[in-house]
Amino acid sequence: MRECSRLSRRAVLGLTAAALPLSATTPASAATVIGGEQLARRGVQVRGASGLPEKLSALSWLIADCASGEVLASFNAHRRLPPASTLKMLFADTVLKKFDRTERYTVRDSDLADVPAGSSLVGIKPGITYSVEQLWQGVFLRSGNDAVHVLAHMNGGIARTVAEMQAKAEDLQALDTHVVSPDGFDHPGQISSAYDLTLFARHGLKDADFRGYCGTRTADFPAGGKKTFQIQNTDRLLTGAWGLRTYDGLIGVKNGYTSHAGNTFTGAATRGGRTLLVTVMHPAEGSNAVYEQTAALLDWGFGRGRSARAVGTLVDPLSEGGAKASAAPARNAARAAAGVPSSGSGGPSAGRLVEGAAGTALLLAAAGAMVVKRRRRAVAAAGVSEEAETPKGPERSKGAERSDGAADATEPGGRHRR
């Protein structure tokens, strides 16, 4: 446990995320549990199968069948956490079909003016003309925030794109997600969950272009004139980089890392005609752990997990006929918002409970304020940051970002080698 004279930015992000379920960003509707009540419970949720990997240090994870949407097992599925670049899956879900992949665009200085300092970059330069396909390769392979911002400006600007992403999340019923920027870079209040990230991946994989981009290992990227440089996908299970073996049957999807958010990854693999989705958020160990734990969960799903009975489901988008989640008991909603465990196996998570009528909203807001105050008092008394006890890999300079947490290095195609 390290001493700290004030709350770290990471702790502030955590406190903000904890308060968000009770904020004005949460829709005012009947209290609901998306995907099933069992997914709102804390701790491991599994039925009818044993042998889950023992060394899973992630703060949240989920494994689901892509075709049926059945959730085979989960751990804190609706816990709200910073998503890092895995949020780019939602960006692709929102913007990908708006431009033909052969369309060409000449980048202007203004397209890159709002890229956050410390971002992961693919190496886009003003004055160079890129195809839409190349821009999406920059997004998926190198997690390039510069590519995201160019596409966002083509889409009408950052603010419009963020609003459309939030609307898309609501249509997908990904109500744990609050979008602040289109690239996933650390911003207070920008959060998602393992459940929501899995929804984004499942929706995206229905599209041939999305599926093609996330499964591409290498591509040649314009460097100006007739020159190009090669870019490689930062998904280590796909490429076998950094001492990891490639995962048999892997088809994508997206990884993410910042020094404040930790490591996140959503992966999909197909074996024997069955496709499984796994999301792992914020393991305690270093940069390879997010991939190792994903691979372990996939192995379980293709093995012992075949006998698992669903503990929940990935809901369908409202625009595709998906039914809204059924109302949860008001008592459970109030208890969960106050952080009180239910009488079942693990307490319901506040992260997936949506406020109802005005009286209930006031009760929940008061409970949320109480929780935040208690956390702040505890942090102040201990003199440490709220997440100091769960390190998530090597710390870097403030705001710096990579997709896999590797050591700093520069290269022609981006500010950091990831």
For the question of residue 193 being annotated catalytic, the response is: no
Q: From CA 214, how far away is CA 197, in angstroms rounded?
A: 15
Element housing 363 (H / E): helix 358-382
Number of H helices, E strands in the chain: 12, 12
Q: Is 136 helix (H, G, I), strand (E, B) or coil?
A: helix
Structure tokens at 181: 């920027």
Q: From CA 350, how far away is CA 354, in angstroms rounded?
A: 9
Q: From CA 353, how far away is CA 27, in angstroms rounded?
A: 10
For 160, residues 6+ apart whose C-beta sits below 8 A from its C-beta are none
Q: From CA 365, how far away is CA 380, in angstroms rounded?
A: 22
For residue 327, the cross-strand partners are 32
Q: How many CA atoms lie within 13 A of 59 on its CB side?
A: 21
Structure tokens at 289: 């752990």
For residue 265, the cross-strand partners are 255, 280
88, 168, 254, 392: the catalytic one is 88
For 157, residues 6+ apart whose C-beta sits below 8 A from its C-beta are none
The total of other beta-carbon atoms located within 10 Å of residue 331's CB is: 10
Q: What is the DSSP letter of 400?
A: -
Phi, psi of 46 (to 5 degrees): -155, 145
8, 60, 74, 85: the catalytic one is 85
Q: From CA 15, how far away is CA 371, in angstroms rounded?
A: 10
Phi, psi of 64 (to 5 degrees): -145, 155
Q: From CA 336, how far away is CA 179, in angstroms rounded?
A: 23
For the question of residue 143 being annotated catalytic, the response is: yes
Residue with tokens 């272009």: 209
List C-alpha distances in Å: 355 to 78, 286, 316, 330: 16, 37, 22, 9
Residues with catalytic annotation?
85, 88, 143
